[in-house]
């Protein structure tokens, strides 16, 4: 087994990506798209904006590239031959956005596995990206050149250093990874290669590998994976959230009992770097939200050491602390939104996380209600309608609280009612006629994209960026300074907030203890942040980006299932005294769902006689003579000194000679019957099989 980490990713929207070689299969774990190059491109100017600046030169003071944006695939993925991938596992919608780049390759033949909900949401996100991107193509015209003007070296040289870094990357190699976006046809073709599954559905890949997704809690349909091969069982843990407020939670109990864990939740590493603080903006007029530091304090870890029983461990992991912490943040955002609305300002929320959007919708509408504010909420996105209606028909994928709504016959999410009561309006695009007739300011707008470069948000920012009473709510992980570059000077308030997007570092040791593997593969960066005490239960290996980690075999033998009727056909013989029995086995090997089954052969036996007999041990001359005597053959033992060989001379019933060596006994007779009988006697004193 080999694990190669292609990319550590960058948080929720760009998950880590690995290649796993297992039981002869090459499996790609996630295939996200890197949208960071977007930051180097200028948003499309809105009409008013454009009229004002029509005379300006193509590249303005912000230095942004004015062209159809390009995107990047996972860094080292291009080094792989796509035809060699056997399977792709997708854990979350963000983990599949780069797949059309791969799947459009004519030699790509892998099966893509994702949960039904992930595949659906991922497809919607691709469509959204395509729709937002289309605006650029419409504006600049289709990209005819494979190597556009701005990609030439002298053009790149004059880019501001920050942008140059984004475009060129760490090394020049990444430049070549900048790709034009895939087409709608590519997406369609890609989706055809999906095998969409349910949580805990066992799928058999190629007869050998059993693959099973288990809820991870990160998003509706997000999953971790159990991969079981003939001699390997691996748990692949992606970013997971123990208790989600909308999606089904992290089902870690179902992950128990596997030998190896590939731990690929890098979310806590981000926290370690940022010190758990919400990055504060210089211009942010609202109060900073101080989170409790998530640095594992020595005391919290030592207390972990004590709890060995499962109950105590479970208590460490679950509980409402995470939900309430997240709710606090959301309530805070909601209160900021209220403050802004009361002052007559509009609010722009380009957050791309479905769970956050669903919760904010409910919180904000409730707050508006209680304050008796009649401010409309707009959701502007090509996929708004379909996404929201989708969330209302997937009770199986939701957390207990939302499932309960199904049983009591209520709509699963509050947005259904908001839509009916005309408090929430959905529009596919900014310029849709119904939007123009409905539009009211102040308003609260949910709209992609968090890069602030593409999508309706860019136009709305151009409209509102200089209004002091307006508010922009951003996710952590976006370089706000860079994101706002094209809109400078920015007068509107900016609130940036991080959301829980994985397992907190202090929960990793108790989790691993519950999962009880033999070996854990962890990112190198986590080495210093885990207490050494857990290592007494299991061992660790560390992997780092773009390196291949070889995992030694833990099990030599295969497990096979021997059918009863075949077992009954066996004729065991005792050898080596009485402790061991051996038997020749002849049957048919079947592989069914990763299991090796040995069943009786349906073919009539052709060579079941003693044909392939194997003898071992040594011939004791005296035993042989007595065995011969039993068959009325009389022999006498004699020794020949020169070779050390022992001879048994047979005279009755006719002449024969038996030469006994250490590894060989030669029976010599011209009489077939006699020869056969001597042979039988010799066999009886040997361990034959």
Partner 1 sequence: MSIESLVLGAGQEVGKSCVLVRMGGKSIMFDCGMHMGYLDRRRYPDFSLISPSGDFNSSIDCIIITHFHLDHVGALPYFTEVCGYHGPIYMTFPTKALAPMMLEDYRKLMVERRGEQEQFTSEHITECMKKVIAVDLKQVVQVDKDLQIRAYYAGHVLGAAMFYAKVGENTMVYTGDYNMTPDRHLGAAQIDRLQLDLLITESTYATTIRDSKYAREREFLKAVHKCVAGGGKILIPTFALGRAQELCILLDDYWERMNLKIPIYFSAGLTIQANMYYKMLIGWTSQKIKDCQTTRNPFDFKHVCSFDRSLINSPGPCVLFATPGMISGGFSLEVFKQWAPSELNLVTLPGYCVAGTIGHKLMSGKPTRIDLDKDTCIDVRCQIHQLSFSPHTDAKGIMDLVEFLSPRHVILVHGEKPKMASLKGRIQSELGIPCYDPANNDTVVVSSTKTVKVDASETFIRTCLNDGFKCHNKQLEDSWTSSSGHSGSLNLISSRDEVVAEGIMVMEKSKKAKIVLENEYLHIVGTEKHELQLSCCCPVSKGSLIQAMSGSDASSASETLVSTDHRYWIHCLWLKLKKESDFNNVQEVDNCLSLNSFKSHICPVDNCPYRTGECDEGGSIMFFCCSWSPIDEKIAWRVLSIMRETSLSEVSEVCRSPTGLLI
d(CA 29, CA 234): 13
Residue closer to partner 1, measured from CB, 539 or 671? 671
**Min dist. Cβ of residue 573 to partner 1 (A):** 10
Gyration radius of the chain over CA positions: 35
- Residue 320 as a binder of partner 1 (CB under 8 A): the answer is no
Query: Of 173, 185, 554, 668, which one interacts with partner 1 (CB under 8 A)?
Result: 668
Q: For residue 99, which of 228, 187, 208, 204 has the smallest C-alpha distance?
A: 187
Query: Of 366, 371, 590, 634, which one interacts with partner 1 (CB under 8 A)?
Result: 590
- Residue 639 as a binder of partner 1 (CB under 8 A): the answer is no
- Residue 109 as a binder of partner 1 (CB under 8 A): the answer is no
Q: For residue 471, which of 580, 340, 317 has the smallest C-alpha distance?
A: 340
Stretch that binds partner 1, among 41-49, 130-138, 420-428, 613-621 (CB under 8 A): 613-621
Residue closer to partner 1, measured from CB, 230 or 486? 230
Query: Of 392, 438, 569, 684, which one interacts with partner 1 (CB under 8 A)?
Result: 392
Stretch that binds partner 1, among 59-67, 143-151, 350-358, 392-400 (CB under 8 A): 392-400
Query: Of 175, 531, 675, 684, which one interacts with partner 1 (CB under 8 A)?
Result: 675
Stretch that binds partner 1, among 309-317, 439-447, 457-465, 595-603 (CB under 8 A): 595-603
d(CA 457, CA 49): 15
d(CA 675, CA 689): 20
- Residue 290 as a binder of partner 1 (CB under 8 A): the answer is no
**Min dist. Cβ of residue 302 to partner 1 (A):** 33
Residue-wise DSSP of 530-557: S-GGGGGTSEEEEE-BT-EEE---S--S
d(CA 380, CA 377): 10
- Strand 25-29: give its sheet, edge to edge: 194-197, 111-115, 87-89, 25-29, 17-22, 2-7, 548-550
Q: Which residues inside 244-273 make contact with partner 1, applying CB under 8 A?
A: 254
d(CA 542, CA 286): 41
Query: Of 508, 619, 633, 648, which one interacts with partner 1 (CB under 8 A)?
Result: 619
- Residue 533 as a binder of partner 1 (CB under 8 A): the answer is no
Cis upstream peptide for 328 (omega within 30°): no
- Residue 585 as a binder of partner 1 (CB under 8 A): the answer is yes
Q: Which residues inside 66-95 make contact with partner 1, applying CB under 8 A?
A: none
Longest dimension (CA), the chain: 123
- Residue 582 as a binder of partner 1 (CB under 8 A): the answer is yes
- Residue 622 as a binder of partner 1 (CB under 8 A): the answer is no
> Which pair of tokens denotes residue 246?
């909308």
Q: Which residues inside 398-417 make contact with partner 1, applying CB under 8 A?
A: 403, 406-407, 409, 411-412
**Min dist. Cβ of residue 567 to partner 1 (A):** 6
Q: Which residues inside 412-441 make contact with partner 1, applying CB under 8 A?
A: 412
d(CA 626, CA 336): 103
Residue closer to partner 1, measured from CB, 233 or 501? 233
Residue closer to partner 1, measured from CB, 147 or 407? 407
**Min dist. Cβ of residue 192 to partner 1 (A):** 15
Q: For residue 624, which of 654, 647, 655, 653 has the smallest C-alpha distance?
A: 647
Query: Of 78, 417, 586, 620, which one interacts with partner 1 (CB under 8 A)?
Result: 586
Number of Cβ within a 10 Å radius of residue 334: 21
- Residue 644 as a binder of partner 1 (CB under 8 A): the answer is no
To which residue do tokens 């909420």 refer? 377
Cis upstream peptide for 618 (omega within 30°): no
- Residue 652 as a binder of partner 1 (CB under 8 A): the answer is no
- Given a contact cutoff of 8 angstroms between Cβ atoms, the answer to whether 78 and 28 are in contact is no
- Residue 672 as a binder of partner 1 (CB under 8 A): the answer is yes
- Residue 367 as a binder of partner 1 (CB under 8 A): the answer is no
Q: What angle do CA 548, 219, 378 make, to 5 degrees?
A: 130
Query: Of 535, 588, 622, 638, which one interacts with partner 1 (CB under 8 A)?
Result: 588
Contact mark string toward partner 1, 536..575, x via CB under 8 A: --------------------xxxxxxxxx--x--x-x--x
Residue closer to partner 1, measured from CB, 104 or 198? 198
- Residue 603 as a binder of partner 1 (CB under 8 A): the answer is yes
d(CA 60, CA 53): 10
Q: How many residues bind partner 1 (CB under 8 A)?
A: 96
d(CA 249, CA 241): 6
Q: For helices 384-391 and 116-140, what crossing angle results, to 10°?
A: 170
Residue closer to partner 1, measured from CB, 137 or 566? 566
Residue closer to partner 1, measured from CB, 328 or 565? 565
- Residue 206 as a binder of partner 1 (CB under 8 A): the answer is yes
Residue closer to partner 1, measured from CB, 201 or 280? 201
d(CA 638, CA 160): 101
For the chain, the residue count is: 689
Q: Which residues inside 228-247 make contact with partner 1, applying CB under 8 A?
A: 230
- Residue 286 as a binder of partner 1 (CB under 8 A): the answer is no
**Min dist. Cβ of residue 413 to partner 1 (A):** 10
- Residue 111 as a binder of partner 1 (CB under 8 A): the answer is no
Q: Which residues inside 164-203 make contact with partner 1, applying CB under 8 A?
A: 197-202
Q: CA of 445: how far to CAs of 371, 383, 414, 449, in Å?
A: 18, 15, 17, 12
d(CA 113, CA 414): 31
Q: Which residues inside 477-516 make contact with partner 1, applying CB under 8 A?
A: none
Cis upstream peptide for 677 (omega within 30°): no
d(CA 308, CA 301): 13
Stretch that binds partner 1, among 167-175, 283-291, 308-316, 583-591 (CB under 8 A): 583-591
Q: What angle do CA 19, 25, 30 make, to 5 degrees?
A: 30
């Amino acid at each position: 087994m080999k694990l190669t980490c292609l990319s550590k990713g960058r948080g929720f929207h760009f998950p880590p990506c690995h290649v796993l070689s297992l039981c002869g299969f090459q499996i790609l774990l996630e295939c996200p798209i890197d949208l960071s190059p977007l930051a180097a491109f200028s948003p499309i100017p809105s009409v008013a904006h454009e009229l004002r600046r029509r005379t300006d030169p193509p590249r303005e003071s912000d230095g942004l590239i004015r062209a159809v944006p390009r995107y990047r695939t996972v860094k080292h993925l291009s080094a792989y031959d796509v035809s060699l991938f056997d399977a792709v596992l997708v854990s979350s919608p963000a983990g599949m956005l780069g797949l059309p780049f791969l799947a459009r390759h004519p030699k790509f033949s892998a099966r893509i596995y994702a949960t039904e909900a992930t595949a659906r949401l991922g497809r919607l996100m691709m469509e959204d990206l395509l729709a937002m991107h289309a605006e650029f193509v419409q504006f600049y015209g289709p990209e005819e050149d494979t190597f556009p003007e701005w990609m030439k070296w002298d053009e790149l040289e004059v880019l501001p250093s920050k942008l140059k870094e984004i475009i060129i990357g760490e090394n020049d190699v990444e430049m070549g990874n900048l790709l034009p976006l895939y087409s709608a046809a590519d997406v369609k073709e890609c989706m055809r290669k999906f095998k969409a599954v349910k949580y805990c559905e066992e799928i058999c890949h190629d007869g050998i590998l059993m693959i099973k997704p288990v809820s991870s809690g990160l998003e509706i349909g997000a999953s971790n994976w159990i991969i079981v091969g003939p001699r390997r069982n691996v748990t692949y843990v992606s970013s997971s959230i123990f208790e989600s407020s909308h999606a089904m939670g992290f089902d870690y109990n179902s992950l128990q009992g596997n030998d190896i864990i590939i731990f690929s939740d890098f979310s806590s590493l981000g926290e370690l770097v940022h010190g758990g603080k919400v990055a504060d903006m210089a211009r942010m007029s609202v109060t900073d939200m101080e989170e409790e530091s998530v640095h594992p304090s020595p005391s919290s870890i030592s207390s972990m050491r004590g709890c060995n029983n499962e109950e105590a461990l479970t208590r460490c992991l679950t509980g409402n602390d995470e939900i309430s912490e997240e709710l606090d943040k959301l309530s805070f955002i909601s209160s900021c939104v209220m403050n802004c609305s009361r002052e007559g300002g509009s609010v722009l929320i380009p957050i791309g996380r479905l769970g956050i959007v669903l919760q904010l919708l409910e919180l904000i509408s409730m707050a508006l209600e209680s304050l008796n504010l009649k401010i409309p909420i707009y959701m502007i996105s090509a996929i708004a309608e379909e996404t929201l209606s989708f969330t209302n028909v997937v009770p199986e994928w939701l957390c207990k609280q939302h499932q309960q709504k199904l049983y009591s016959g209520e709509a699963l999410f509050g947005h259904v009612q908001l839509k009916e009561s005309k408090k929430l309006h959905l529009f596919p695009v900014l310029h849709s006629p119904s939007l123009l007739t409905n539009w009211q300011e102040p308003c609260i707008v949910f709209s992609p994209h968090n890069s602030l470069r593409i999508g309706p948000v860019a136009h709305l920012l151009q409209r509102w960026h200089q209004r002091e009473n307006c508010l922009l709510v951003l996710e952590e992980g976006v370089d706000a300074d860079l994101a706002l570059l094209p809109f400078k000077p920015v007068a509107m308030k900016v609130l940036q907030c991080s959301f829980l997007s994985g397992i907190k570092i202090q929960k990793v040791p108790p989790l691993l203890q519950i999962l009880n593997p033999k070996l854990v593969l962890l990112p190198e960066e986590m080495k210093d942040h885990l207490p050494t005490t857990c290592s007494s239960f299991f061992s660790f290996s560390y992997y780092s980006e773009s390196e291949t980690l070889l995992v030694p075999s833990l099990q030599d033998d295969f497990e096979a299932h021997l059918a009863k009727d075949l077992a009954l056909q066996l004729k065991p013989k005792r050898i080596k005294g009485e402790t061991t029995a051996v038997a020749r086995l002849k049957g048919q090997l079947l592989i069914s769902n990763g299991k090796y089954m040995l069943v009786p052969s349906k073919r009539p036996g052709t060579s079941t006689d003693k044909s392939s007999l194997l003898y071992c041990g040594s011939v004791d001359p005296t035993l042989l003579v007595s065995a011969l005597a039993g068959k009325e053959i009389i022999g006498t033992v004699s020794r020949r000194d020169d070779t050390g060989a022992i001879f048994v001379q047979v005279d009755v019933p006719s002449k024969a000679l038996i030469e006994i060596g250490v590894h060989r006994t030669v029976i010599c007779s011209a009489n077939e019957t006699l020869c056969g009988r001597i042979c039988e006697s010799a066999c009886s004193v040997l361990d034959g099989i």
